[in-house]
Amino acid sequence: MQAPVPAPMIQASDVTHYYGPYPAIQEVNFSVRKGEVLGFLGPNGAGKTTTMRILTGFLPPSRGSVSLDGFDVVEKSLEVRRRVGYLPETVPLYTDMTVTNYLKYMGTLRGMPAARIRARLGEVIDVCRLGDYRKTQIGKLSKGFRQRVGIAQAIIHEPEVLVLDEPTIGIDPIQVVETRSLIQELGREQTVVLSSHILPEVSMICERVLIIHEGRIVAEDTPQNLAEGLQGLERLEVEVGGPSAQVLPALQQINGVISVTHRNNQGRHTYTIQAQPGRDLRDDISRAVIGNGWSLRGMQLMGMSLEEIFLRLTTQEDL
Amino acid sequence: MRTVRAVAWKEIQIFFLSPTAYIVGMIFLALTGFFFSRDLGDPFPEATLSPFFQGAVIIFILLAPALTMRLIAEESKLGTIELLLTSPVRDWEVIIGKYLASLIFFLALVAMSGFYVILLFVYASPDPGPIYAGYLGLTLYGAAALSVGMLTSTLTSNQIVAAVVAMGILLALFFADLAFGAVGGLPGEIIGELGMKTHFDDFDRGVIDTRHIVYYLSVIAFFLFLSVRALESRRWR
Ligand SMILES: Nc1ncnc2c1ncn2[C@@H]1O[C@H](COP(=O)(O)OP(=O)(O)OP(=O)(O)O)[C@@H](O)[C@H]1O
Ligand SMILES: [Mg+2]
């Protein structure tokens, strides 16, 4: 018996968005599992906000489609909006309302019954540590506390999906740490999509990271592998037809190879090779394989072109 | 319905707490008071509210846009519209909620002019018919003017632009009957029929004609419908 594959919570297919003639994102594909914490990492202008706005139904994609919990964001916008909590990048709040009144108002807009709003109000105020500011006018709060109010309104209705656009931008390091741990906590139960231009941040919070650059997704990986890429290790994957007991040591002996891992995928033997930084070992590897009489069935560079992008990303790390 | 009420209630609080609304209200009462009392200096003043009504419809051209300009334009400017439109709220609920708030504040202003009515009844014995009819006409006229302002506030994020464009539309509708003379013939007649002032004058004379009521309700429905469409279209920009 096969275990049924659960449908993804979010499925984006070939999403393109134009502002006038200018494409902000192009042919973006990704899916998010239920309960997953996914990070969008990219420099300024990469298209993160545009992607978030499409997910939340604020902007319709020019081409392609996005579905959330099986509902199309354009066709079934209302259903999608019922399931999403959203923290926009600029944290737009009604500055003349008090924290409590604002949260009640947003709860009502999300269709919560009055009794449930009352019950949740105390909870989100606790979770977001806004206890001393219930009656404070939002306009008088500092940036960091406004950010908390922004998160509080995003979670008050217990949405299935939480979309957070740069949730830690513009707040001080202590609050950044608090906000990150808050998101981690929320991510245990909810599906979270967040954007950031800070690599350490996404690697801390997210299970999976999509790197978006100039409107395209250029890489997708776990934070661990991304961190390795950041260290400048060249990775490549080869598929070899031959006895793995001999292939493995042969590959390891090649000058410049740091490590080799072997994977047997239903008779297909693939080897992931870690090379010294700056070394191009493709010719040496193919010579070694062919010279031993084995067949070279495939070779793929993993993440070499990422280095430059990472550099750009990491130079913007301002913490 | 709860959403409409929540949106309306939030806006009503802003109306009744904001100094701008009170300044607008004071100007309204001062000016209409001037119109009301202008003829009182006559040796035989007529016991009528007509000068007040005639003054009020002109003042509404400026007053209605000043009340409505903020409603959506401010949300577009501050970005709060992003959270409003990504909440599970229908576009018409937003428009109706905000419109109702402006209408309620407007009705409160009109109610304050009841002071003049009391004065009139204390010092004279006016014919109540034209007063009832006049207030009905004034309310319909004002409600129509607010719906025009609602539309322009939805179309731009600049409150001043919203107000000025609404005033332009209201002026054009106010003087549409002048086009009746200028153009002549059937086109002139049609344009004349669109005039917001033409349809008001019967009320002022004490005549309640359903044709005029239908006219104002149609104007309100038309501009609110366009507002909903305009809000929808924001999703497509
Ligand atoms: N409303 C708009 N009209 C025209 N162009 C826009 C608009 N919004 C964004 N863009 C452009 O689209 C591109 C992607 O913008 P987006 O805001 O999605 O990037 P981002 O990854 O969120 O950047 P940042 O890190 O600065 O927030 C940018 O080049 C931007 O200039
Ligand atoms: Mg952005």
Q: What does the H/E/C string look like for A237-295? A: EEEEECCHHHHHHHHHCCCCEEEEEEEEECCEEEEEEEECCCCCCHHHHHHHHHHCCCE
Which residues of A are less than 8 Å from B3 in CB distance? 108-109, 111
Distance from the Cα of B236 to chain A's closest Cα (Å) equals 6
Distance, CA of A241 to chain centre? 36
Q: A212 or B122: whose pLDDT is higher?
A: A212
Report the number of distinct structural domains present in chain B.
1
pLDDT in tens, B7-34: 999 999 998 888 877 888 888 888 888 8
Nearest CA to ligand 1 atom 5: A19
pLDDT band at A306 (very low <50, low <70, confident <90, very high): very low
> Residue A176 above 90 pLDDT?
no
* pLDDT, mean of residues A11-22: 93
> Distance between CA atoms of A245 and A227, rounded to whole angstroms?
30
Q: What is the pLDDT of residue A318?
A: 40
Q: What is the pLDDT of residue A110?
A: 95
pLDDT in tens, A136-165: 999 999 988 999 999 999 999 999 999 999
Phi/psi of residue A76, each to 5°? -120, 45
- CB of A23 shorter than 6 A to ligand 1: no
Share of chain A above pLDDT 90, in %: 56
Q: Are residues B87 and A109, on separate chains, in Cβ contact within 8 Å? A: yes
pLDDT in tens, A208-249: 999 888 898 887 888 777 666 655 557 788 999 989 889 999
Q: Are residues A92 and B82, on separate chains, in Cβ contact within 8 Å? A: yes
Structure tokens at A4: 């049924």
pLDDT in tens, B160-179: 999 999 999 999 988 887 76
pLDDT band at A175 (very low <50, low <70, confident <90, very high): confident
- CB of A24 shorter than 6 A to ligand 1: yes
Q: Are residues A82 and B90, on separate chains, in Cβ contact within 8 Å? A: no
Alpha helices, DSSP H, located in B89-175: 91-112, 114-123, 128-155, 159-174
Please provide the average confidence, as pLDDT, over all residues in chain B: 87
Domain that holds residue B199: 2-233
Q: What is the pLDDT of residue A275?
A: 83
pLDDT in tens, A74-130: 999 999 999 999 999 999 999 999 999 999 999 999 999 999 999 999 999 999 989
pLDDT band at B75 (very low <50, low <70, confident <90, very high): very high
Provide the ipTM. 0.88
User: For A136, which DSSP code?
Assistant: S
- CB of A48 shorter than 6 A to ligand 1: yes
Distance from the Cα of B61 to chain A's closest Cα (Å) equals 28
Share of chain A above pLDDT 70, in %: 90
Q: Which residues contact B80 (CB under 8 A, 6 or more apart)?
A: A92, A93, A94, B74
Lowest pLDDT segment from A257-266, A269-278, B35-44: B35-44
Q: A123 or B46: whose pLDDT is higher?
A: A123
Q: What is the pLDDT of residue A313?
A: 54
Distance from the Cα of B144 to chain A's closest Cα (Å) equals 27
Strand ranges in A88-243 using DSSP code E only, listed in sequence order: 161-165, 191-196, 208-213, 216-221, 234-241
The domains of chain A, with CATH numbers, are 10-221 (3.40.50.300), 233-303 (3.30.70.1340)
Q: B70 or B28: whose pLDDT is higher?
A: B70
Beta bridge partners of B93: none
pLDDT band at B102 (very low <50, low <70, confident <90, very high): very high
A147 touches chain B (CB under 8 A): no
Residue with tokens 């994977």: A263
- CB of A191 shorter than 6 A to ligand 1: no
> Distance between CA atoms of A269 and B144, rounded to whole angstroms?
76
Picking from B217, B99, B90, the residue whose alpha carbon sits closest to that of residue B154 is B99
Q: Which residue in chain A has the smallest CA separation from B237?
A: A59
> Distance between CA atoms of A279 and A256, rounded to whole angstroms?
7
Q: Which residue in chain B has the smallest CA separation from A83?
A: B88
Where does residue A313 rank: exposed (0-12), middle (13-18), buried (19+ CB within 10 A)? Answer: buried
pLDDT in tens, B212-232: 999 999 999 999 999 999 999
* pLDDT, mean of residues A53-72: 94
Q: Is B79 left (phi over 0), alpha (psi -120 to 50) or beta?
A: left
Query: Which ligand number lies closest to the CA of residue A212?
Result: 1
> Residue B45 above 70 pLDDT?
no
> Residue A305 above 50 pLDDT?
no
Residue A138 Cα to ligand 2 middle (Å): 23
Mutational pocket test of ligand 1: of A15, A22, A165, A194, the residue with most ligand atoms within 8 Å of the beta carbon: A22
Please provide the average confidence, as pLDDT, over all residues in chain A: 87
Nearest CA to ligand 1 atom 24: A44
Q: Contact at 8 Å (CB) between A31 and A11?
A: yes
Q: Are residues B3 and A106, on separate chains, in Cβ contact within 8 Å? A: no
